[in-house]
Structure formats: C-alpha cells, structure tokens
Amino acid sequence: ASSASLLLTEANVDRLAETLCRLRGAALKGGQMLSFNDAEVLPPVVRNLLDRVRDGADVMPEWQLQRTLQDQLGDEWRAHLTEFEEAPIAAASIGQVHHATLLDGRRVALKVQYPGVSDSIASDLWSMRQLVERTGVVPRGLFLDRVLDVAREELIEECDYVNEAANTRDFKRLLAPYPEFSVPAVVPQLSAARVLCTEWMPGKPLDKAAADGMPASERDRVGARLLWLTLTELCTHRFMQTDPHWANFRHGPR
C-alpha cells in the first residue's frame, strides 16, 4: 500500500476534522471549500470528514465573545437589545451567530467574527495544507493549490463586515420588486468591522427543506426561481450572492 493509503484512516480523518474545527478561520474555510467538490468520487472516510467540517467550528469562550462585542460596539451595546442569547446558534469558519431581540421586538442574527481571523489567513491556510497533505485525505486531481488560492481571496472579502453590510443593503434594494425573495435588513447600530447584525430570516435551510418531503411541484418552482435569480444577477444586476452553501437560502411559507 502507498504511504497515502496508510495515512488515510478513520483515526486520521477524526484528528483532521477536529483540528480544522479548532483552528477555525482560513484552515476551516479551506476544508469547507473542499466539501463542495463532487463528494461521490471521494472515499467514504473523506466524505465523512467533509460533512463534519462543513457544519462545525469551535465556538468562542464567553469572555472572548464579550470582549469582542464590547471592542466593536462599545460598552452600551446591550442597550439596543431586550434579549441576547449567549449560546451561538451556529459556528462557521470565520464567525459565530447569536439570536437577539431588538427594542422594537424584531428578532435579529448577530454575527461575531473570531478574533485574529483576518490577520492569520496565510498561516492558517499553510497549516490546513500541511494537515491535508500529511493525512493523505485529498486525492490527486483536486487542485489543492487553486482551492487554497480561492479560499484566501474569499476570506479577505468575508472578513470585511462593513463591505458585507453594504452588499446586503444593495442586494435587498435590487430584489425589492420581487416579493418571493426576502433579504434581511442590516441593523446599523449593532454592526461594525467585525460584527454584523441583520434581521432574522425564518424558514428551513433549503437543502433540509428539500429533504423533508417538499412536494415535487414546489421543488420545481424553487429550482426555476433560483435559476431565474442566478441569470438575473449575472445578466441584469451584474451583482451576485455567490456563497454556494445551500444553508444560506431558506425556504418559508409563501
């Protein structure tokens, strides 16, 4: 057996998944980007790894969360809220998301970036590459160098929450004439360079909604509208929401 096949074990996959989730940031982002390749051509142990890193990251300790919010929003940030849930509802590659309630009763999602993520992109991607190569979980032909180059470019943009807030406002304005699409409003008083607050969007992630018995007619309708949206973004607006994670699209009541 080759050295790569000897290294490709369940134990090594477990170690790699745990390490990527602990590193978070660029390392986890690179692993998540690998998960969007055609998983059917990969060995089962690799598919298991990619499923785990797609959905998981280690959350910030409470003291770090509180310090980040205070540094970004000021000492009185809680005065804008009637409720803030300390436990995150999601932890992704560069930040975690918390439920909160504004003074006017609106439910919001507060996304808080992990400290130091933007400063450690290059070193994190180097660490991720070493881990992947040493454990042998990525077969030849997956163009790892290109995946990591794209991950670096995307991470630089994703770490800029001011830019993301501006893009969200633009996207909401462009889709305002189409009521079947909803884009959350940005909450400026709770948004900063490393914190982004938007209205909470109800509904199920699109992939889960499709798996939970969505009727064929509704699947066809949603697919057709997403195709229309993609072509409209490309050809009319020249402005796209391009994160390919299906959990970024939610399906709610019409």
Helix (H, G, I), strand (E, B) or coil at 83: strand
Please name which of 172, 167, 224 lies closest in space to residue 201, comparing C-alpha atoms: 172
Please name which of 63, 67, 76 lies closest in space to residue 190, comparing C-alpha atoms: 76
Catalytic residue flag (residue 160): no
Q: Measure the CA–CA gap between 69 and 144, rounded to whole angstroms.
A: 35
Q: Measure the CA–CA gap between 160 and 85, rounded to whole angstroms.
A: 24
CB 152 within 8 A of CB 125: yes
33: amino acid identity, one letter: M
Cβ neighbours of residue 97 under 8 Å, at least 6 residues apart? Answer: 88, 89, 90, 91, 109, 110, 111, 112
Task: Please identify which of the residues 119, 149, 170, 243 carries the catalytic annotation.
Answer: 243
| Residues facing residue 103 across a β-bridge | none
Q: Measure the CA–CA gap between 117 and 93, rounded to whole angstroms.
A: 9
Give whole-number Cα distances, 207 to 40, 60, 91, 245, 248, in Å. Answer: 17, 27, 18, 9, 10
CB 86 within 8 A of CB 121: no
Q: Measure the CA–CA gap between 67 and 74, rounded to whole angstroms.
A: 10
What are the catalytic residues? Answer: 243
